[in-house]
Amino acid sequence: MRTLVTGGAGYVGSHMVKALVDVGHQVVVVDDMSAGHRDAVPPGVPFVLADVGSTKDMAAVLRDHHVEAVFHFAAKIRVEESVAQPRRYWKGNLVATLALLDAVLDSGTVQAFVQSSTAAVYGTPDEVPIDEDHPKRPESPYGETKLAVERALEAYGRAHGLRWAALRYFNAAGADHEAGLGERHEPETHLIPLVLDAASGKRESISIYGTSWPTPDGTCVRDYIHVSDLCEAHLAALDHLLRGGESGAFNLGTGRGHSVREIVDVARSITGRRITTVDALPRAGDPPSLVAKVDRAAKVLGWSARRAELSRIVGDAWAWKLRSEQV
């Protein structure tokens, strides 16, 4: 199948390119390089430097490469930044995606559209684990824009027959270090890479945002999912849509929650290094606990996370760091 991966030079996108190539699909990557790494796209995979917000450019890519399925990763991803700079998110995540969807709908070739969505569409949950029907109360422009895209997909599906899946990631983590791929955000704000920076000495310490949350050890609980498991879920979603399965949204997580302190403890044991923690105030907008209910993806897509052990997730992230930074 001929596929387009937007944001294919980014963290999850680059792993997806590899996953698609591995199972024999053809891939073209579009990335504007605002956050991507050119060396994350394998040689031989066509790369187009473009903005997904240009319907004209995207129409040309879809036409020139006879694209049949689109995986849309290109987006701004920082919750805090979205609060400070909402224009970047409404334009970059919503307006640009609508422009891409115009090209997709007019292409006549695209049979499936897989959207990177997020647990941030739920806001602070009434209960965990969170199922897909939980009320959507996003608490940041990041979550709002991702939810708005889902709503557009629903309407376009109904009116224009677009087949789509919105995959709501919980906390993407880990790496396919053997393929030379991993997480490289600039600036880095995610917990696991920051903890590993503290282990390597790149940072002096890691701040723990909040130590008296209503959780078992007082620190925030998240559902960390290995990036390679995310990719397998995307392949399963594509198969589902191509088989004529119903469009919709799916949580992607492991269904297990881990606290910040657990992450630090696992990182200490995996790296064998000293990791200094500093108790800090809660970060604005952080819900105490986010854990996915993953039954829908299991039942409908036949997918579940195969790399759910925290030691595997943190271990792969560390192996990537050792390889990429020689720490």
- Nearest-angstrom CA–CA distance, 154 and 161: 10
Cα Rg, the chain, nearest whole Å: 19
CB of residue 134 to ligand UFG, shortest distance in Å: 13
Within 210-308, where are the H helices?
Answer: 227-242, 260-271, 295-296
Which listed residue (191, 235, 266, 297) binds ligand UFG by CB under 6 A? Answer: 191
In the chain, what is the greatest distance between 2 CA atoms, to the nearest angstrom? Answer: 57
Q: Is 250 helix (H, G, I), strand (E, B) or coil?
A: strand
Residues 99-118 that bind ligand UFG (CB under 6 A): 118
- What does DSSP say about strands 164-169 and 289-290: parallel, antiparallel, or unpaired? unpaired
Which listed residue (14, 171, 247, 254) binds ligand UFG by CB under 6 A? Answer: 171
120 binds ligand UFG (CB under 6 A): yes
Give me the residues paired with residue 198 across strands.
none
Instruction: Kindly tell me which of 107 and 219 has the beta carbon lying closer to ligand UFG.
Output: 219
- Give the tokens for residue 326: 């020689």
Residues 6+ apart with CB under 8 A from 114: 69, 70, 71, 72, 164, 165, 167, 234, 237, 238, 241
Catalytic member of 11, 142, 156, 169: 142
Q: Is 123 helix (H, G, I), strand (E, B) or coil?
A: coil
Residue-wise burial string across 255-266, b where 16 or more C-beta atoms lie within 10 A, e elsewhere: bbbbbbbbbbbb
Query: Contacts with ligand UFG: how many residues (CB under 6 A)?
Result: 21
Instruction: Kindly tell me which of 7 and 57 has the beta carbon lying closer to ligand UFG.
Output: 7
Instruction: Kindly tell me which of 162 and 225 has the beta carbon lying closer to ligand UFG.
Output: 225
Instruction: Kindly tell me which of 6 and 107 has the beta carbon lying closer to ligand UFG.
Output: 6
CB of residue 11 to ligand UFG, shortest distance in Å: 10
Which listed residue (77, 94, 196, 241) binds ligand UFG by CB under 6 A? Answer: 77
Contact code string over 286-325 relative to ligand UFG, x by CB under 6 A: x---x-----------------------------------
220 binds ligand UFG (CB under 6 A): yes
119 binds ligand UFG (CB under 6 A): yes
Q: Which stretch binds ligand UFG (CB under 6 A): 5-13, 105-113, 206-214, 225-233?
A: 206-214
- Nearest-angstrom CA–CA distance, 304 and 301: 9
Instruction: Kindly tell me which of 26 and 207 has the beta carbon lying closer to ligand UFG.
Output: 207
Instruction: Kindly tell me which of 40 and 77 has the beta carbon lying closer to ligand UFG.
Output: 77
Peptide bond into 288 cis (omega under 30): no
- Nearest-angstrom CA–CA distance, 243 and 18: 23
Residues 6+ apart with CB under 8 A from 124: 137, 139, 287
Whether 209 is catalytic: no
Contact code string over 245-284 relative to ligand UFG, x by CB under 6 A: ---------------x----------------------x-
CB of residue 107 to ligand UFG, shortest distance in Å: 29
Applying CB under 6 A, which residues contact ligand UFG?
Answer: 77, 79, 118-120, 142, 171, 189-191, 194, 206-209, 220, 222, 260, 283, 286, 290
Active-site positions? 142
